[in-house]
Amino acid sequence: MQLKTNKRKRNPNLSKYDAPLKIQFNRGISDFKRGKLINPYHSNTMQAREWLRGFNTSYYQRLERVKNAEVRRRSEKIYAR
């Protein structure tokens, strides 16, 4: 009887927590847009930090849009006189 072997070789320098960090970054962005405020990853891991970086990136992009909209609304009120 022959054992099945995995055809892909695992990199010995990576652990199971070293996934492509783009996945966690994008999940942070989408969680902010959906209103999910709890970090799904264990604290003090690279995955949690990448999720937080994506979450914060999305937050500051939204903040800039809100500020620009407020400035536009104020200027419309001033020039409406």
pTM over 0.85: no
| Residues 22-47: tens digit of each pLDDT | 999 999 999 999 999 999 999 888 89
Higher-pLDDT residue of 77 and 52 is: 52
- With CA atoms as reference, report the closest residue to 49 among 70, 34, 69, 28: 28
Residue 13 makes CB contacts below 8 A (sequence gap 6+) with none
Cα(49)–Cα(25) distance, integer angstroms: 9
pLDDT of residue 51: 95
Dihedral pair phi/psi, residue 80, rounded to 5°: -80, -15
CB–CB of 75/64 below 8 Å? no
Question: What tokens does 76 get?
Answer: 């419309």
Cα(68)–Cα(75) distance, integer angstroms: 11
* Residues counted in the chain: 81
